[in-house]
Copies of this chain bind each other. A is one copy, B any other.
Amino acid sequence: MKVLVDLCVVPIGVGVSLSTYIAECEKILSGAGLKTALHSYGTNIEGEWDEVFAAVRRCHEKVHAMGAPRITTTIKLGTRTDRDQSMQDKIDSVKSKLAATAAPTHASGPDTP
């Protein structure tokens, strides 16, 4: 089963600077061959269910091994059976709707989106 995930790992008990831990998670995810996209409040992941969650588990194991005694993680995950949809498809779908309403049909200027 294919899954789209938004992952946000928060190490607790290691101070306020968390990017070193997040960078290690990024390496684990891309090292697992998963398609990822980093954003400012998490990482989008696209892959097979078992591979994704095995990688998320390795992120927890790694962050603990780096010294974090506690981790709280937030995950959003989507599956669908009606059609195949990639991470990029979802973004494109919203952007096409925005473009459709933003671009008046009689636009004449050079920078119409």
Residues of A that sit less than 8 Å from B by CB: 1, 4-6, 8, 10, 12-13, 15-16, 18-20, 22-23, 26-27, 37-42, 44, 49-50, 53, 57, 60-61, 64, 69-82, 87-88, 90-91, 93-98, 101-102
Contacts and interface: CB of A to CB of B under 8 A. Distances in A.
A75 B72 contact: no
B44 A82 contact: no
Name the 10 nearest CB pairs between A and B, nearest first. Answer: A23-B97, A6-B41, A40-B87, A69-B82, A19-B93, A13-B16, A70-B80, A75-B75, A39-B39, A40-B90
The count of identical subunits is 4
A58 to B, nearest CB: 11
A60 B39 contact: no
